[in-house]
Amino acid sequence: MQIPVKKNQKIVLTVEDLTYEGMGVAKVNNYPLFIAGALPGEKINAVVVKTRKNFGYARALEYINKSADRVDDSLDQQNGITPLGHLKYEAQLNFKRNQIKQLLNKAHLEALNVNNTLGMENPLHYRNKAQVPVRKINGKLEVGFYRKGSHHFMPLKHFLIQDKRIDEVLQSVLEILNQYQLSAYDEETGKGLIRHLMVRRGYYSHEVMVVIITNGKSFPHGDKIAKEIMKKCPDVKSVIQNVNNRKTNVILGKQDIVLAGNDTIMDELNGLKFKISAHSFYQVNPQQTEKLYQQAIHKAGLTGEETVIDAYCGIGTISLNLAKHAKKVYGVEIVPEAIQDAKQNAKINNLTNVTFEVGNAEEWMEKWSEKGIKPDVIMVDPPRKGLTNSLIHSACEMKPKKIVYVSCNPATLVRDIQLFMEEGYQVTQPIQPVDQFPQTPHVESVTVLENKN
**pLDDT tens column, 127-173:** 999 999 999 999 999 999 887 767 788 888 988 899 999 999 999 99
Based on C-alpha coordinates, what's the Rg of the chain?
24
- Tell me the β-bridge partners of 256: 242
Sheet with 43-51, side-by-side order of all strands: 10-14, 43-51, 56-65, 31-35, 24-28, 17-18
Section 265-276 average pLDDT: 95
Q: How many CA atoms lie within 13 A of 391 on its CB side?
A: 22
The CA-to-CA distance between both ends of the chain, in Å, stands at: 49
Q: Where are the domains of the chain?
A: 1-68, 129-269, 285-451
What percent of the chain has pLDDT above 90? Answer: 88
Residue 147, pLDDT score: 76
What percent of the chain has pLDDT above 70? Answer: 98
Section 386-402 average pLDDT: 94
Four-residue CA torsion sign, 67, 72, 75, 79: positive
Give 184's DSSP letter. Answer: B
pLDDT at 254 over 90: yes
Q: Of 80-84, 173-177, 283-287, 367-371, which range is least confident?
A: 80-84
pLDDT band of residue 74 (cuts 50, 70, 90) is: low
pLDDT band of residue 91 (cuts 50, 70, 90) is: very high
The helix or strand, by DSSP H or E, that contains position 360, with its residue range, turns out to be none
Residue 75, pLDDT score: 59
Out of 3.40.225.10, 3.30.1330.40, 3.10.110.10, 2.40.50.1070, which CATH number does the structure's domain 129-269 have?
2.40.50.1070
Section 398-418 average pLDDT: 97
DSSP reduced 3-state for 134: strand
Burial class (CB in 10 A: 0-12, 13-18, 19+), 55: middle
Q: Tell me if 129-269 shares its fold with 285-451.
A: no
Residue 453, pLDDT score: 72
Q: Determine the Cα–Cα distance for residues 380 and 108; give it in Å rounded to an integer.
A: 24
pLDDT at 78 over 60: no
Residue 100, pLDDT score: 97
Say if residues 407 and 444 touch (Cβ distance below 8 Å): yes
Q: Determine the Cα–Cα distance for residues 260 and 166; give it in Å rounded to an integer.
A: 18
Residue 87, pLDDT score: 94
DSSP reduced 3-state for 111: coil
Decide if 313 is catalytic: no
SS3 content of the chain, % helix, strand, coil (to 5): 25, 30, 45
Contacts of 259 (CB under 8 A, 6+ apart): 212, 222, 223, 225, 226, 239, 240, 241
Q: How far is CA 199 from the centre of its chain?
A: 16
Section 203-213 average pLDDT: 98
Question: To the nearest whole number, what is the mean pLDDT of the chain?
Answer: 94
Residue 449, pLDDT score: 98
pLDDT band of residue 315 (cuts 50, 70, 90) is: very high
Section 414-431 average pLDDT: 97
Section 254-263 average pLDDT: 97
- The CATH H-level (homologous superfamily) assignment of domain 1-68 is Nucleic acid-binding proteins (2.40.50.140)
Contacts of 293 (CB under 8 A, 6+ apart): 269, 270, 317, 318, 321
Q: Determine the Cα–Cα distance for residues 23 and 382; give it in Å rounded to an integer.
A: 26
Closest Cα to residue 173, out of 248, 90, 230? Answer: 230
Section 216-242 average pLDDT: 97
Q: Of 235-239, 308-312, 366-370, which range is least confident?
A: 366-370
What type of residue sits at position 182?
A: L
Active-site option among 233, 313, 396, 408: 408
pLDDT band of residue 281 (cuts 50, 70, 90) is: confident
Q: Determine the Cα–Cα distance for residues 386 and 411; give it in Å rounded to an integer.
A: 9
Say if residues 276 and 296 touch (Cβ distance below 8 Å): no
CATH number assigned to the domain covering 285-451: 3.40.50.150
Section 100-129 average pLDDT: 97
Residue 357, pLDDT score: 97
Residue 150, pLDDT score: 72
